[in-house]
Amino acid sequence: MRKGILIWPAIMLVFAGMRAQHPVCGFDWEDISTEESVERFERQLDTFLSQSNLTNRSPITIPVVVHVVWHRPEENLSDVGILSQIEALNRDFNAENADLSTVPDEFQGLIGNIGIRFCLAAIDPYGNPTNGIIRKQCFTPGMGLMEALFFSSGGGSDAWNISQYLNIWVADTGDWISGFGSYPGQTPPEKTGIVVHPKYFGLNGHPKFGLGRVATHEIGHFLGLKHIWGDSPDCSSDDEVADTPLQGSAYNGCPDYPQNGCSESEMFMNYMDYVEDPCMVLFTEGQKQRMLATLFHPPSRIGNSPVLCLHNDQISLSTWKAAPNPSKGQVFLTFEPPLMKLARYSVYNCTGQLIRQEEKLVNRELFIDLSEFPNGIYFLRIDNHCQKIIISH
Ligand code: ARG
Ligand code: ZN
Ligand code: CA
């Protein structure tokens, strides 16, 4: 027998009481119970898993919209902070995390490279250009646990079409909940996605939840994964993934290896357990199959999204200064905050002609040598920032 899943902890209670205030139009959602729709998803998923050749899909990219619904100024995260979350997801969902080497030998062969990339959406649902980030100031604290979070009319931010975008809300979920994610079939479309507390979003410096893995875990739920211990404290309930060992209940903190309870050695270092960020390091091949099946399956279908991506180097992340200026042509650019990505710089002469363009991996500093060009005024552009450079030999 399957036990109820507890992915939206106290949240369901909050929603149950508020539901009537927001009539839902245009979906048959209200006609069936959550339990029924979750079960329907799982039945279909089983069929889909047994039929499809899921590993041969071409690279999958999921466009993301981040709804920053902030109250205190520090909750209004910077573009750099948001981008660091996208990069953390790409690290974890492509087995690019350096700490993967800490997976114990007995589990090494089970590591799943999910092969999904995430990007900030470049086009909004109306076809307009966007950077995939929406910012809304709200006037109540604790918005992350309120139904209003999902509705612009309530002071929150409306979901974008869930078959094309992964909706991530960044909002204050209080002191006890780091975030939550909707399991397929559990939420109506307008509340489907994940919610993460701003203090745990991105590479945020927090000693326990600083690596962006609250979002990794919640996207696991969003893509059909259950907690690795099967959400009930016994050895018979499992997560319906064959290659994750049975486990009685959640592990917290950062346990020593090995740990046993139900199985000789339990996989507490899985992203779907409750350990701290530095101690969760893998998804398995079985979890991968379940996530891929969910991607191409109702109610998600997001695996086929046609939405364009913003490339990480297109976002204006930093401002920069050129020095010395004037110079003999050798100029140092300093970026604050430091960039993390490829930056394309372009140099134009005073007639507007492009005389140099180059892509460089930039962090804090970039050296440019323009000494081959004659004395004069030049314009140096990176992203949308342009500055005048004077060369005087
Ligand atoms: N609150 C989350 C959930 O149950 C778990 C947090 C994941 N833990 C972590 N170290 N990132 O959905
Ligand atoms: Zn969870
Ligand atoms: Ca299992």
Per the annotation, the verdict on 218 as an active-site residue is yes
Question: Do 229 and 366 share a domain, yes or no?
Answer: no
Q: Which of 62, 26, 22 is nearest to 152 (CA)?
A: 22
Q: How far is the CA of 168 from the centre of ligand 1 (A)?
A: 15
Domain end, chosen from 276, 304, 332, is at: 304
15: confidence class by pLDDT, cuts 50, 70, 90: very low
Report pLDDT digits (tens) over 374-388: 999 999 988 767 889
Question: Do 75 and 157 share a domain, yes or no?
Answer: yes
345: confidence class by pLDDT, cuts 50, 70, 90: confident
Q: At what angle do helices 285-295 and 34-51 cross, to 10 degrees?
A: 110
For the segment 325-334, the average pLDDT, to the nearest whole number, is 93
Q: How far is the CA of 178 from the centre of ligand 2 (A)?
A: 10
Structure confidence at residue 27 (pLDDT) = 33
Question: Do 204 and 296 share a domain, yes or no?
Answer: yes
Q: What is the mean pLDDT of the chain?
A: 86
Structure confidence at residue 187 (pLDDT) = 94
352: confidence class by pLDDT, cuts 50, 70, 90: confident
Report pLDDT digits (tens) over 151-162: 999 999 999 999
For the segment 288-296, the average pLDDT, to the nearest whole number, is 92
Query: Is ligand 1 within 6 A of the CB of residue 92?
Result: no
Q: What single string gives the DSSP state of each residue in 150-204?
A: G-GGGTS-PPP-TTT-EEEEE---TTT--EEEPPTTSS-GGG-SEEE-GGGSSB-
Q: Check if the beta carbon of residue 133 is closer than 8 Å to that of residue 310.
A: no
Find tokens 């996208």 and name the residue: 86
Report pLDDT digits (tens) over 48-86: 888 766 665 667 889 999 999 999 999 999 888 898 899
315, part of any domain: no
271, part of any domain: yes
Domain count of the fold of the chain: 2
Q: What is the pTM of this model?
A: 0.76
3: confidence class by pLDDT, cuts 50, 70, 90: very low
Structure confidence at residue 122 (pLDDT) = 81
CATH of residue 357's domain is 2.60.40.3080
CATH of residue 214's domain is 3.40.390.10
Task: Strands of 230-293 (E only): list them.
Answer: none
For the segment 164-187, the average pLDDT, to the nearest whole number, is 96
Q: How far is the CA of 225 from the centre of ligand 2 (A)?
A: 9
Report pLDDT digits (tens) over 135-150: 999 999 999 999 999 9
Higher pLDDT: 46 or 327? It is 327
Longest dimension (CA), the chain: 81
Question: Do 243 and 281 share a domain, yes or no?
Answer: yes
185, part of any domain: yes
Range from 282-291, 358-367, 368-377 carrying the lowest mean pLDDT = 358-367
What is the SS3 assignment for 267? Answer: coil
Q: Reply yes or no on whether the pLDDT at 389 is more than 60.
A: yes
Residue with CA closest to ligand 1 atom 12: 180
Q: Reply yes or no on whether the pLDDT at 316 is more than 90.
A: no
**Ligand number nearest to the C-alpha of 173:** 1
Query: Is ligand 1 within 6 A of the CB of residue 179?
Result: yes
Question: Do 293 and 338 share a domain, yes or no?
Answer: no
Q: Check if the beta carbon of residue 305 is closer than 8 Å to that of residue 124.
A: no
Beta bridge partners of 137: 70
Query: Is ligand 1 within 6 A of the CB of residue 209?
Result: yes
Q: Reply yes or no on whether the pLDDT at 1 is more than 60.
A: no
Question: Do 295 and 328 share a domain, yes or no?
Answer: no
- Cα separation, 317 vs 315, whole angstroms: 6
**Ligand number nearest to the C-alpha of 9:** 1
Residues spanned by the domain of 176:
11-304
Ligand 1 atom nearest the C-alpha of 213 is 11
Question: Do 165 and 287 share a domain, yes or no?
Answer: yes
**Ligand number nearest to the C-alpha of 277:** 1
314, part of any domain: no
312, part of any domain: no
Question: Do 359 and 295 share a domain, yes or no?
Answer: no
172: confidence class by pLDDT, cuts 50, 70, 90: very high
Domain end, chosen from 304, 331, 365, is at: 304
Q: Which of 302, 344, 34, 319 is nearest to 168 (CA)?
A: 302
Q: What is the 3-state secondary structure (H, E, C) of 140-157?
A: CCCHHHCHHHHCHHHCCC
Ranked by mean pLDDT, the top range of 23-37, 58-72, 337-351 is 58-72
Question: Do 65 and 192 share a domain, yes or no?
Answer: yes
Ligand 1 atom nearest the C-alpha of 275 is 10
Contacts of 163 (CB under 8 A, 6+ apart): 300, 301, 302, 305
Question: Do 196 and 344 share a domain, yes or no?
Answer: no
300, part of any domain: yes
Query: Is ligand 1 within 6 A of the CB of residue 229?
Result: no
Hey, which of 99, 183, 214, 229 would you mutate to test ligand 1's pocket, going by the most ligand atoms within 8 Å of its Cβ?
Answer: 214
4, part of any domain: no
Domain end, chosen from 255, 275, 304, is at: 304
Question: Do 215 and 345 share a domain, yes or no?
Answer: no
Question: Do 105 and 234 share a domain, yes or no?
Answer: yes
260, part of any domain: yes
What whole-number percentage of the chain has pLDDT above 90?
Answer: 63
